[in-house]
A and B are shown apart, each in its own frame.
Chain A
Amino acid sequence: MIRVKFLFLFFLLFFIAIAVKLFYLQLFRPVTSLLDNYLKTKKISPERGNILDHNGKPLVLNQNSYLLYFEPKKMKDPKDISVKLSRVLQISEASLEAKIDSTKVWVSVKSGIEEDIKKAVDSLHLDGIGFQYEMKRYYPEASLSAHLVGFVGKNTGGENVGYFGLEGFYDKDLNGLPGLLETERDLAGRPIFIGTQERVNAENGRDLQLSIDKTVQEIIKRKLQQGLESYKAKQGCIITADPYTMRILGFACLPDYDNSQYYQFSEEYFKNPAISEAYEPGSIFKPLIMAAALEEKKVKPDDLYNEEGPVKVGEYNIRTWNDKYEGKITMTRILEKSSNVGMVYVGEKLGNDTIYSYLQKYGFGEITGVDLQGETTGYLRPKNSWYPIDFSTVTFGQGIAVTPIQMIRAFSSLINGGKLIRPTVVEKIISSGNEREIKPKVERMIIHEKTSDIIKKMLVSTVENGEYKWARPKGYTIGGKTGTAQIPIQGHYDPSKTIASFIGFLPAENPKFITLVILREPQSSPWGSETAAPIFFDIAKELIVYYNITPDQ
């Protein structure tokens, strides 16, 4: 009996001791770190979606990356560690030593460390350093599509955010949703099997499959690079699209930047000039006005105009680009020789109100809705601020500021049967087991199919009978138009600075692609016919081979 009482007393004291200790720990000295170790709640980061080209080849992927951190309290010889690490990380010893603050438990040193560097650091077997896993973007094709893709940077909270291009526009789709892991752990950090183990999986970001074909992209970027060097231009852009769907096949602007080293470039490089910068289009604008006049039945292709000399509008004299006049010429010839005075005549036939309404119909002054971050509207002044001279100059593409993407969209409507279509870069959004196709969206009809056929023929004639003979791929009917616009500087035009452009399509009957080439301030020649057009024909030759387009002549 005494033994039982003794045992009872022993257990009673034992449990009282435990209760007192628990009371003390919970009320007087709560150890939060122990509680944290016991019930761990961890955010599961989703993987950012990949960006694939039209054929499913990756343009942007994720790669392993690590954050290197110090645990200064665990370091035995900080000096030795900073010496050894500085060689591998290419960071000065002084900077590393400055980070070793013995009062701190954990110090972040460098993020974005790649696999090979991590292995090199691991092989040093240093104490007091560790790696935290994170992911970063990998670009297998380097900066092939820099402006198009954009980049992933950090926001003020240190979270990944997409900036510019597709990364910016589709940030929410690409980013995914984080998951949560709540788990009870013992002192050694092992999960307690019978304890709480709750897991809400992260939803990884969606993949984007683009209409961009990386081979087309490589061709246009290479040709643009060569063109910039040959013609000593300051900047250039090329957009290639399917005119019937306005799916973008290739899209390049130079100079651009390296997405993986974006932080080494200034902000001006990030802007995509093809959607963010407006320019005066010059003569490539003429077919738009001509098509409007054909649609309104104000002119016919064979109507004659007497081109006898400069035309006076108010106090201004409007001349042809070479100040040569051919007398009676047809409407087709106006486009062939790119006659400014002829276009003024067409504009007069069309009327000021109709010109302005067509500018709006073509979508100038509004964003195209292309799925890229950073698009601007261009500049279409309110109608009440237009002077009579403005209605004349706009017929040959001056006095209006458009973005290249607006220009190619409007021009495509001339050759696709009259449909103004929203341009798109993404073809499909792919999430686990689910694909959503982004279908072309026809915004409105601008001209009838018959008018479209007529203007296409006029544009073919423009290429074949224009003022300049190019090395065209033989056997193919190609339509197109050159443009040379002077750059307005402080209220006047500087004749030495031009924007040279060419927009063309082939095969003319049923175009497989339309390409816009723009060069800013070419030095070797200011003319679009001598700079942008040869680039277009070089690209056309390669695309004919790539798409296996059969000759139609």
Chain B
Amino acid sequence: MPMLIFINMFIFVSGIVLGNQITHFELETKKIHEQNVELGKQTSHIDSLENAASVAASLDFVKRSTPIVLDNLRYALNR
């Protein structure tokens, strides 16, 4: 009899502990997912042409290089 009561209590307490763990991991997973999404956003922003253009502008690097060979082919052909 005491054994059965003990087992029941053990299952009851274990259930609560596991329930707590499920809640904890649910929250952790959600948090990690949100962090992942945020990091993905930051990475794509850093990798974007939009960001490159704003960095270039902040460094006063605004002139674009157009290869002169397209207008003067002799440079490319070494003539």
Which A residues are closer than 8 A to B by beta carbons?
Answer: 57-58, 61-64, 115, 133, 135, 138, 140-142, 144, 186, 189-194, 214-215, 218, 471, 473-475, 541-542, 544-545, 551
Contact = CB atoms under 8 A, between A and B. Distances in A.
Nearest to A47: B37
A62 B66 contact: no
Interface extent on B, as a size class? 20 to 34
Given A138-B41, A474-B73, A475-B73, A193 B47 contact: no
Interface in B22-79: 22-23, 30, 34, 37-38, 40-41, 44-45, 47-51, 66-67, 70-73, 76
Contacts, number: 75
Nearest to B67: A545
B73 A186 contact: no
A133 B14 contact: no
Residue of B23, B30, B49 with most chain A CB atoms under a 10 A cut-off: B49
B49 A190 contact: no
Contact of A193 (B19, B45, B48, B51): B19
A285 to B, nearest CB: 30
A64 B49 contact: no
Given A142-B50, A475-B76, A191 B30 contact: no
A191 B22 contact: yes
Interface of chain B, main secondary structure: helix
B58 to A, nearest CB: 17
Nearest to A135: B37
Contacts of A218: 49
A17 to B, nearest CB: 22
A190 B71 contact: no
Given A140-B48, A215-B49, A191 B19 contact: yes
B72 to A, nearest CB: 7
Nearest to B22: A191
A544 B45 CA distance: 27
A140 B71 contact: no
Contacts of A141: 48-50
Given A135-B37, A140-B44, A189 B50 contact: no
Given A63-B41, A190-B16, 16 more contacts: A62-B37, A64-B34, A64-B41, A135-B37, A140-B41, A140-B44, A140-B48, A140-B50, A141-B50, A142-B50, A144-B49, A189-B23, A193-B15, A194-B15, A474-B72, A551-B76
